[in-house]
Amino acid sequence: MARKPRLHFPGAVYHVTLHGNGNQQVFLDDTDRTRFLLFIQEGIERFGHKVYAYCLHATYLQLVIEVVDVPLSRVMQQLGFRYTRWFNDWHRQAGHLFQGRYKAILIDPERYLLDLVREVHRQTGEQNLCLAGGVALNCVANGRILREGPFQQIWIQPAAGDAGGALGAAYLAYLALGGELPHKGDKDLMAGALLGPQYTETEMLAALVDSGLHFERVEPELLNQRLVAALEAGKVVGRFEGRMEFGPRALGNRSILADPRIADMQRRLNMKVKFREGFRPFAPAILQERCRDYFDLEAASPYMLLVSSIAAARLLKVGAEGSGLDKLRVLRSTIPAVTHIDRSARVQTVTTTGNPSFYALLKAFEAKTGCPLLVNTSFNVKDEPIVCCPEDAVRCFVKTEIDILVLGPFWVTKESL
């Protein structure tokens, strides 16, 4: 089957990587590199593109290219063909020199996505836009499409990456068997993306008994009270509740939670819980009806896929911000643990219909503190998947500095460790 042609964006800048076939050497000496650079120059003169940088390794090459009228695919095809033919003649060999297709990453993709959605709007006249595919996980681009694009509303598939293809496959089979797609107006039919497995209290109890951890069962009406008190006291809490989320974002049911008002909470979570770089940001989960009080975001963002600026009323006056990593220690808002260095945040809005139990927790935290949001990050550590079953949650709890685990109705601490 012929491959679909790549989209062409005149003026787009790409970081291109091309490997040797079977990881073979494509540059044996400086003669090869000199000849390749000559072919680059000839391509520039013929097609009018610009090459801003290059790096020619023994087994692969990297280029930074700005295309104009001629698509990148044609530029790379011509360059690869000419060099391969010369290389084989010069070194007296035959066969493919480069493997398959090159890899190309757009630099400043937001601008090109905006151009693309504007063209879609021009051609269709539609007012609502749905986004899917891995690029739809670019929360910054999504926020710009919402603010600067021509569509009145946008909806983003919560499992926008490859995993979301399972939904398409299921729908395709369903339709082939005579099913009909539901039409319910503006209602979101993804059930808050809470489509994964859930576990019984018995299964949770078994995991806790095997762990040797100290735990107790707490009645539902008291659980949120204890949880709010712990969060307000600066504790970090792992929350395991109900069905697991479908997609790459934890939305409250497989989440690590903390108080966003605490100045050093971002660093604490990164260094002692997530085991990753201290500058990595965290997202806020906020009551949807209070979103405008904290963020310049009018639309719902139930799947944490939109970036928005912090509302002016929540920003602090800042003097000199310093440079480098010193900028991370500057307090820019009243919710520093979820405020990015550019005074933005990747927002999750929570409703009572989307996730009733998580909504109730946020309401309880608001009632106690006046703050309607929490830090919400996925219940995992760097390079590991989000916890799925009770045993996963217990293991992650034990090997990190999470202070408290709320496993369904069970309140778990490390007193016995």
Sign, CA torsion 199/200/201/204 = negative
Is residue 156 helix, strand or coil?
strand
Whether 158 and 303 have beta carbons less than 8 Å apart is answered as: yes
Confidence check: pLDDT of 2 > 70: no
Q: What is the mean pLDDT of residues 127-133?
A: 91
pLDDT given at position 227: 97
Cα–Cα distance, 337 to 222 (Å, whole number): 27
**Residue 90 exposure: Cα atoms within 13 Å on the Cβ side:** 16
CA of 50: how far to CAs of 41, 43, 169, 173, 279, in Å?
9, 9, 41, 46, 34
- In this prediction, residues 400-410 reach a mean pLDDT of 97
SS (H, E, C) 299-339: CCCCCCCEEEEECHHHECCCCCCCCHHHHHHCCCECCHHHC
Task: Tell me the CATH architecture of domain 13-107.
Answer: 2-Layer Sandwich (3.30)
d(CA 39, CA 51): 12
pLDDT in tens, 198-251: 999 999 999 999 998 999 999 988 999 999 999 999 999 999 999 999 989 999
Name which of 276, 209, 281, 272 is nearest 403 in CA terms: 272
Taking the C-alpha atoms of residue 89 and residue 85, their distance in angstroms, rounded to an integer, is 6
Q: How far apart are CA 132 and CA 158, in angstroms?
A: 8
Residue type, 189: L
Quote the pLDDT of residue 3. Answer: 54
pLDDT in tens, 180-203: 877 766 677 787 899 999 999 999
Kindly tell me if the per-residue pLDDT of 33 is higher than 70.
yes
Structure tokens at 212: 């040797």
pLDDT tens, position by position, 35-94: 999 999 999 999 999 999 999 999 999 999 999 989 999 999 999 999 999 999 999 888
Confidence of residue 1 (pLDDT cuts 50, 70, 90): very low
Domain ranges (residues) in the chain? 13-107, 110-170, 201-413
How do residues 238-294 score in pLDDT, each as one tens digit?
Answer: 999 999 999 899 999 999 999 999 999 999 999 889 888 777 889 999 999 999 999
Asked if 294 and 374 count as a contact pair (C-beta separation under 8 A), the reply is no
Mean residue pLDDT across the chain: 91
Spatial distance between the Cα atoms of 369 and 346, rounded to a whole number of angstroms? 22
What's the pLDDT tens digit per position in 299-322?
999 999 999 999 999 999 987 777
Mean pLDDT value of segment 345-361 = 96
Q: Torsion over CA of 222, 225, 228 and 234, rounded to 10 degrees?
A: -90
The C-alpha angle with vertex 47 and arms to 32 and 54, in degrees rounded to 5, equals 40
Angular region, 48: left φ>0, alpha ψ -120 to 50, beta rest? left
The superfamily (CATH) of domain 201-413 is Carbamoyltransferase, C-terminal domain (3.90.870.20)
Residues belonging to the chain: 417
Q: Cα(335)–Cα(262) distance, rounded to whole angstroms?
A: 7
The two structure tokens encoding residue 184: 């319910």
Mean pLDDT of 9-20: 89
Task: In whole angstroms, give the CA distance from residue 69 to residue 48.
Answer: 8
